[in-house]
Amino acid sequence: MAGMPTETLRALLVDAFPDATELAVEDRTGTGDHFQVTVASSRFQGLSLLDQHRLVNEALAAPLADGTIHELRIKTKGTA
Amino acid sequence: MNELNAKIKQVIEGEDVALFMKGTPQMVMCGNSLRALEALRSAGAPVTAVDILPDPAIRQELSALSGWPTIPQVFVRGELVGGADIVEELAESGELEQTLAEKLGPDYRDSRDEKTVAVV
């Protein structure tokens, strides 16, 4: 299966977190399927870590469901 | 409800700490599963591990039940705690130990035993 460019992931995250003050996507293995994403957004404010990660998973639901993303590491930060 | 679904539910609801992972604690097959396992060990959690690799249906049923798309998945007393990143972060901040003490009692470390159960 062909990998996914970081730009595609980034676009999905920008859609879901338009107010993000920090948004980084790293292709950890250079193969387009193991990613580390970092998002700082006001949407996370007041949410548990579980619900924060749920929002990121939801934003990336399609590539997670079809197996394009083999591994996803998430770091979230709530902003005021 | 099918048999596999029922077995997964039984583990989630019946075990104090359930870790659905790739491989077993003796032979971990994925870096993230290892991270979750080590975080749980560092908190002294009594881990019941389930290897999801023997049948792709395990992962499908599990994700349908939990609403969580990735592996590993950690549950404490039936409640989803999260994946490797969350469990690691909670272990580092000390919140994981707090949660375990609240849900399992302050002496939860005494009951520590690591075991593996099969669902297929």
Q: Is the pLDDT of residue A80 over 90?
A: no
What is the rounded average pLDDT of the residues B2-21? 97
Q: Domain A6-78 adopts which CATH fold?
A: GMP Synthetase; Chain A, domain 3 (3.30.300)
Question: What is the residue extent of each domain of chain A?
Answer: 6-78
Three-state DSSP at B32 gives: helix
Query: Which among B95, B79, B81 has a CA at the least distance from the CA of B43?
Result: B95
Query: How does pLDDT run across A61-74, given as a tens digit for each residue?
Result: 999 999 899 999 99
What is the rounded average pLDDT of the residues B3-18? 97
The Cα B11–Cα B20 span in angstroms is 10
Q: Which amino acid is it at B41?
A: R
Mutate to test the interface with A, among B76, B86, B96 (most CBs of A within 10 A): B86
Query: How does pLDDT run across A18-73, given as a tens digit for each residue?
Result: 999 999 999 999 999 999 999 999 999 999 999 999 999 999 999 999 989 999 99
pLDDT of residue A13: 98
Query: How does pLDDT run across B50-107, given as a tens digit for each residue?
Result: 999 999 999 999 999 999 999 999 999 999 999 999 999 999 999 999 999 999 999 9
As for the ipTM of the complex, it is 0.89
Q: Is the pLDDT of residue B9 over 60?
A: yes
Specify burial of residue A66 (Cβ count, 10 A radius: 0-12, 13-18, 19+).
exposed
The Cα B100–Cα A75 span in angstroms is 23
The Cα B43–Cα B60 span in angstroms is 29
Q: Is the pLDDT of residue A1 over 60?
A: no
Adjacent-strand bridge partners of A78: A41
User: Which among B31, B82, B84 has CB closest to A49?
Assistant: B82
Q: Is the pLDDT of residue B112 over 90?
A: no
Nearest CA in chain A to B82: A50
- Is the backbone peptide bond immediately before B46 cis, with ω within 30 degrees of 0? no
* A1 or A30: which leads in pLDDT: A30
- Answer whether B55 touches A (CB < 8 Å): no
Residues with Cβ < 8 Å from B110, sequence gap 6 or more?
A: none
Specify whether the backbone of A35 is left (phi greater than 0), alpha (psi in -120 to 50) or beta. beta
Q: Kindly determine whether residue A73 and residue B89, on different chains, have CB atoms separated by under 8 Å.
A: no
The CATH class of the B3-104 domain is alpha beta
Tell me the chain B residues in contact with residue A56 when contact means C-beta distances shorter than 8 Å.
Answer: none
User: Which among B70, B84, B86 has CB closest to A50?
Assistant: B86
Specify whether the backbone of A79 is left (phi greater than 0), alpha (psi in -120 to 50) or beta. beta
User: What is the distance in angstroms between the Cα of A13 and the nearest Cα belonging to chain B?
Assistant: 17
Q: What is the enclosing helix (H) or strand (E) of A23?
A: strand A22-27
pLDDT of residue A2: 67
Question: What is the residue extent of each domain of chain B?
Answer: 3-104
